[in-house]
C-alpha cells in the first residue's frame, strides 16, 4: 500500500534494491540512500545479535540512536549484558573506540585529556583523553562523582572539548554509550538532570528468556563471541547513513504530535519535571532513524509512539505523591501515548 508522506501515515512501497554492490560515493562502499541504509544497518544488527542473544528490540534501539547521532544510556542490574551490547555495537563499526571504566576516584581530566609540560619543547602540549574517539563506551557511569560525570556535558552536546581555554573538535560520528546500575545499589551517584537530558534514549536489557539464556550458554560457554566479532561497516558508512536519516520527511502533523506529547509531560500532576525542548528534538531525530530502519522515507506517528518511553522517561522526575504510589515516569508516558489523539491520515 502506498503511504501518504504529507501526513506521515500509511506504508510506503519499499524502495528498489540496488543489489549487492553499494552505490557510488566519496569512498567505495559509502551508502547514499535507503536501499544501502537497510543493507549496512542490517549487517551491523546481525553482527551485534551474534553476541547479544534474545534482545532484538534493545539492539534496534541502539542502532536507532547511532543513526540519530545521539547517545545511549543502558540501565539495568549487573550481569544482563549492558557492557556486552555497548562493546558489540562499537566493534561492529570500523572506527576509533575507547572504553572508560568509571570509578569514584576518576577525574575529569582522565576523560577529556590534560595539558602536560614538554621538557624538550619547553611548552605545554595537549594529551587527548579517551573521549577523542568515534564511540566512547562509559562503563558504570554512575559510579563516578558528579564532578567527573560533568566532563561529558560539553562533548555530548557540542561535540567538542575545552581544556585550559582551548577548544578541540571531536570526530564524527561521535557517540557515547554509557551503562549504569540502578541508583538503589551501593556506590552509585544518580546522574544529574542535565546529564540525563543529553542521552537520546535509555534502554533496559532485562533478563533473557530461557531459550535465549540456553543459547548464551552454548555460544559464551567456550569462548567470548566478542573476540570473533569483525567490523562490518566503516565510520564513513555511518556518517553517510546519518545524512540519509536527516533527509527523512516529518509531516507537520507528526511534528505537532511530538510537541503535544512532550508538552503533556510538563503539565502532568504526577511529574515535577517534564521533558525539555531538547527531548522534542531527540524524539523527532530518533523517529527519523526508526522510520529509515523500516525502509520508509517519512515518519509515522507510530514511530513517535514506539520511541516515547525510551526517549522521554529518563528525563522526567516524578512528584512525591507519585513516588509514594510507585508510579514511574514510564507509566506516565505510556498513559499519555494512549490518551493523546493521533494525527489522522488527512491531518
- Cβ atoms of 39 and 30 within 8 Å: the answer is no
If DSSP codes are grouped into helix, strand and coil, which group holds residue 113?
A: strand
pLDDT beyond 80 at 231: yes
Return the pLDDT at 209.
79
Own/partner contacts of 110-116, CB < 8 Å, gap of 24 or more, are: 110/148, 111/148, 111/151, 111/152, 112/151, 112/155, 112/161, 112/163, 113/161, 113/163, 113/168, 114/163, 115/163, 115/164
- In the DSSP assignment, the letter for residue 230 is -
Q: Report yes or no on 24 lying in a domain.
A: no
Listed in sequence order, the residues at least 6 apart from 341 whose beta carbon sits closer than 8 Å to its beta carbon are none
Q: Report yes or no on 107 lying in a domain.
A: no
Structural domain containing residue 344: 1-19+248-347
Q: Report yes or no on 48 lying in a domain.
A: no
Q: Report yes or no on 92 lying in a domain.
A: no
| CATH code, domain with 296 | 1.10.8.80
Q: Percent of the chain, pLDDT > 70?
A: 88
Q: Report yes or no on 78 lying in a domain.
A: no
pLDDT per residue over 278-311, tens digit each?
999 999 999 999 999 999 999 999 999 999 999 9
Q: Report yes or no on 344 lying in a domain.
A: yes
pLDDT beyond 60 at 12: no
Q: Which of 49-53, 153-157, 176-180, 261-265 has the lowest mean pLDDT?
A: 49-53
Q: Report yes or no on 50 lying in a domain.
A: no
pLDDT beyond 60 at 258: yes
pLDDT per residue over 99-156, tens digit each?
999 998 999 999 999 988 888 888 888 899 999 999 999 998 988 888 888 889 999 9
Q: What is the enclosing helix (H) or strand (E) of 167?
A: strand 166-169
Per-residue pLDDT band at 187 (split at 50, 70, 90): low
Return the pLDDT at 25.
39
- Cβ atoms of 17 and 171 within 8 Å: the answer is no
Return the pLDDT at 122.
82
Per-residue pLDDT band at 10 (split at 50, 70, 90): very low
Return the pLDDT at 1.
41
Q: What is the enclosing helix (H) or strand (E) of 234?
A: strand 233-234
Q: Report yes or no on 30 lying in a domain.
A: no
| Three cell numbers, residue 263 | 508538552
Q: What is the average per-residue pLDDT within 159-186? A: 86
The number of folded domains in the chain is 1
Q: Within 10 A of 313 (CB to CB), how many other CB atoms are there?
A: 19
Return the pLDDT at 116.
87
- Bridge partners, 234 (sequence order): 94
pLDDT beyond 80 at 345: no
- Cβ atoms of 262 and 275 within 8 Å: the answer is yes
Amino acid at each position: 500500500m502506498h503511504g501518504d508522506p504529507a501526513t506521515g501515515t500509511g506504508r510506503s512501497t519499499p524502495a528498489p534494491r540496488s543489489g549487492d554492490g553499494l552505490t557510488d560515493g566519496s569512498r567505495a562502499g559509502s551508502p547514499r540512500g535507503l536501499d544501502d541504509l537497510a543493507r549496512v544497518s542490517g549487517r551491523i544488527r546481525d553482527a551485534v545479535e551474534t553476541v547479544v542473544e534474545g534482545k532484538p528490540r534493545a539492539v534496534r534501539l541502539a542502532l536507532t540512536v547511532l543513526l540519530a547521532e545521539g547517545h545511549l544510556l543502558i540501565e539495568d542490574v549487573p550481569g544482563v549484558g549492558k557492557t556486552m551490547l555497548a562493546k558489540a555495537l562499537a566493534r561492529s563499526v570500523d572506527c576509533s573506540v575507547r572504553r572508560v571504566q568509571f570509578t569514584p576516584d576518576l577525574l575529569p581530566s582522565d576523560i577529556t585529556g590534560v595539558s602536560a609540560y614538554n621538557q624538550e619543547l619547553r611548552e605545554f602540549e595537549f594529551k587527548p583523553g579517551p573521549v577523542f574517539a568515534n564511540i566512547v563506551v562509559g562503563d558504570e557511569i554512575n559510579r563516578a562523582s558528579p564532578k567527573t560525570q560533568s566532563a561529558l556535558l560539553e562533548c555530548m552536546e557540542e561535540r567538542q572539548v575545552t581544556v585550559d581555554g582551548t577548544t578541540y573538535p571531536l570526530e564524527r560520528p561521535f557517540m557515547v554509550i554509557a551503562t549504569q546500575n540502578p541508583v538503589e545499589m551501593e556506590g552509585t551517584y544518580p546522574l544529574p538532570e542535565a546529564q540525563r537530558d543529553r542521552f537520546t534514549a535509555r534502554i533496559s536489557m532485562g533478563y533473557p528468556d530461557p531459550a535465549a539464556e540456553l543459547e548464551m550458554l552454548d555460544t559464551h560457554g567456550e569462548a567470548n563471541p566478542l573476540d570473533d566479532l569483525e567490523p562490518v561497516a566503516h565510520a564513513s558508512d555511518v556518517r553517510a547513513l546519518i545524512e540519509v536519516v536527516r533527509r527523512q520527511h516529518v509531516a507537520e502533523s507528526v511534528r505537532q504530535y511530538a510537541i503535544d506529547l512532550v508538552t503533556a509531560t510538563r503539565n502532568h500532576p504526577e511529574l515535577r519535571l517534564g521533558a525539555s525542548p531538547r527531548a522534542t528534538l531527540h524524539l523527532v531525530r530518533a523517529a527519523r532513524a526508526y522510520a529509515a530502519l523500516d525502509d520508509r522515507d517519512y515518519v509515522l506517528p507510530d514511530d513517535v509512539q514506539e520511541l516515547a518511553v525510551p526517549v522521554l522517561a529518563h528525563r522526567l522526575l516524578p512528584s512525591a505523591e507519585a513516588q509514594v504510589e510507585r508510579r514511574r515516569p514510564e507509566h506516565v508516558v505510556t498513559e499519555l501515548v494512549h490518551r493523546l489523539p493521533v494525527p489522522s491520515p488527512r491531518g
